[in-house]
Structure 1
């Protein structure tokens, strides 16, 4: 087990060296272990193939437990359906684990909130059908959940609707707020002392934007828009809010922002996570700076020490590559992402010339960012070679109205490496 460092905006790898594949995620602690649930994506088609479950003792080393909820033979999560943003709840009254999620058709024209249950957090969940309110399915899409200090659970929806759930968390019984955030999606809520905070992103397709938040003394409202919680123009450090997990460290409860860096269409191989501590002062919450890597024990920024060398490279030519030989157990690569960049293949070879690790890294971001782009798994100390190759592909997508988003070129730009 390595140091409990959380690296932001880079791929994480599980016990098999595979990319951690959990998007629109949430986190739950059970029996001194953390469980991460998210969308298990593919790189070729945007449809439901399952919700993943990973476990960790330190938020840095991840173990793939398997698919928590499999595709169904028919119905809301059947063939050619969408399954997104799974959120996990533990009902301490019944002992049941309850998962809520957004289900839809492939054109996003048939939204419905679904419910699944299981007796254990790492077991296989059973899909129960739609979440009902007044006997009718809740037909909405972007969603989140929040559990208050007294165990009352809430469903959070795009546009800012909030529903209180029943005591068993299996139905919605009261609409406690309505349209408090017109145009908002991807809601995430937390409570700090006497205030409730709820975050939203704006609707910009797969593109990132400056997320914002509201605050209230009572979950019923009135809710007050407080503006941005990250520096303006940072596009929420190139991420979209997904969940807020309250982390216990140094005798304090610290809310941790959990956000996604989507990488359409390479969601399985290249999408990453951004997790950062939230500073709360009264009715204000903010994430004043981006930490590329931080220690989950002390919740403090970390500077990585090791052998640092230049690795200057820039190309947009498919197949062009650069190689770097190193002696150690891990390599960290720094580079620049911007709106002119595409994907790169990362390959690590052992002394015999065998490929022992591969990854696909996305160098696209609308806002330019020079930072860590890749952190390899930890290998036995030895001699290795890292090869980075331009794929000549990039992320481009279109809204329903034909608006084009994404990169306009295929550049891969590197600056330096650190060897540990």
Structure 2
């Protein structure tokens, strides 16, 4: 069985727990990829710590532990916000530096924070705010980029780019300013000598058509190149978060990492999407969405034996059951702006629940495909029970604009069963 990365579904760690890492980054160290992200809850958008996971293949994840936890004496404590965690390696101190957006719950006290660790997968120590010319960098949505010469940069909402010092603990120079008014969640890469930076528009937890700019020099001038995914796809129902290098033998592939948010049930239902970026004649794109792809060669993986199964409902507590025998079950359905949450219970022959998950059928743009892939099970007879929760996400941006689902439908059209 090939190592397959499934996009937009819950991933699971070595213990069968849902991978909980959002607003994330992936850092490669030797032959291992480390995923850092916001450790979310399902009830409140507050700082709960930053998690760390590791993988050799991007398909199988090991929970390394909490890289940074709430601290009552620091800027990151319960009832505050901690977001957009990014980790870079200091080329001078040869340690690891974590940068993040800290804030109060009203988003009126933004500041970039700094934490350090001697090990990439160790516990990080918060050391204070990021400073520039003696003042705190009071920005929120942020990203990081390491140039080919090892120089580290911080990018912020609206398009400010700061060069960091060699220790990556202070900002030394504002190299570009306000290059993307209205943009947030920046991510950057360099390909064939050209710089590419992508941004999301501001729609709260909702997805939108993200866009990118290019420059021959990181100082600019920067030129807006438009969208990098098909118009109307809402960036395949994701928000850009990070660009990392994925290595296959001697080949490096620039990989897009995007968040598929699921407010308010972020811990259980928010997912990640990884897709290879394409470059041609100074342009960048993701021309097609892959539900799943092989880590061996980044080729698309397509399910061969889909069993038709129809269930479409928004009625609270209405349920259906699928009996299966195997080691893994996948569920296929349609996401739309009328979608909502359902609970999945996998039960053994004795009717004991062996796994429970919550998945979301909401999508800014309509999308059909895989919605759930269970963790590997012991081969046996099981029942998958699907229960409509009659719940969906709704949120408002700072200007009072409403976003989210118009209803709470669960829309399933098939499943598949695997044996390894």
Q: Taking structure 2 as the reference length, what is the TM-score of the superposition? A: 0.98
Summarize deviations over 1:215-267 as a string: whole Å, max 9, x none.
Answer: 11110011111000000000000000000001112532110000000001001
Do 1:3 and 1:60's aligned partners in 2 also have CA atoms closer than 8 Å?
Answer: no
SS, match of residue 145 in structure 2: strand
Do 2:2 and 2:295's aligned partners in 1 also have CA atoms closer than 8 Å?
Answer: no
- Alpha-carbon offset, residue 375 of structure 1: 0.3
Do 2:51 and 2:66's aligned partners in 1 also have CA atoms closer than 8 Å?
Answer: yes
Instruction: Number of aligned residue pairs: give it.
Output: 418
Do 2:91 and 2:166's aligned partners in 1 also have CA atoms closer than 8 Å?
Answer: no
- Alpha-carbon offset, residue 282 of structure 1: 2.8
- The answer for the alignment partner of 1:326 in structure 2 is 324
Matching of residue 124 in structure 1 with residue 123 in structure 2: yes
1:40-55 residue pairs with structure 2 within 5 A? 40-55=39-54
1:40-189 residue pairs with structure 2 within 5 A? 40-189=39-188
SS, match of residue 371 in structure 2: strand
- The answer for the alignment partner of 2:405 in structure 1 is 407
Distance between the aligned counterparts of 1:282 and 1:23, measured in 2?
32
Distance between the aligned counterparts of 2:145 and 2:153, measured in 1?
5
Do 1:11 and 1:271's aligned partners in 2 also have CA atoms closer than 8 Å?
Answer: yes
- The answer for the alignment partner of 1:359 in structure 2 is 357
1:377-396 residue pairs with structure 2 within 5 A? 377-396=375-394
When the two chains are superposed, the root-mean-square deviation of aligned CA atoms in Å is: 1.0
Distance between the aligned counterparts of 2:30 and 2:192, measured in 1?
25
SS, match of residue 236 in structure 1: helix
Distance between the aligned counterparts of 1:60 and 1:177, measured in 2?
37
- The answer for the alignment partner of 1:344 in structure 2 is 342
- The answer for the alignment partner of 2:311 in structure 1 is 313
Matching of residue 13 in structure 1 with residue 18 in structure 2: no
Summarize deviations over 1:143-200 as a string: whole Å, max 9, x none.
Answer: 0000001100000011000000001111000000001101100000000111010000
Do 2:203 and 2:403's aligned partners in 1 also have CA atoms closer than 8 Å?
Answer: no
Select which of 395, 401, 406 maps to 1:397.
Answer: 395
- Alpha-carbon offset, residue 402 of structure 1: 2.7
- The answer for the alignment partner of 1:238 in structure 2 is 237
1:158-237 residue pairs with structure 2 within 5 A? 158-237=157-236
SS, match of residue 320 in structure 2: strand
Distance between the aligned counterparts of 1:203 and 1:254, measured in 2?
28
Q: 1:332 to 1:68 in 2, by over 3 A?
A: same
- The answer for the alignment partner of 2:254 in structure 1 is 255
Distance between the aligned counterparts of 1:230 and 1:408, measured in 2?
25
Structure 2 unmatched runs, 5+ = none
Q: 1:3 to 1:354 in 2, by over 3 A?
A: farther
Distance between the aligned counterparts of 1:11 and 1:242, measured in 2?
17
SS, match of residue 100 in structure 1: strand
- Alpha-carbon offset, residue 400 of structure 1: 2.8
Distance between the aligned counterparts of 1:333 and 1:7, measured in 2?
12
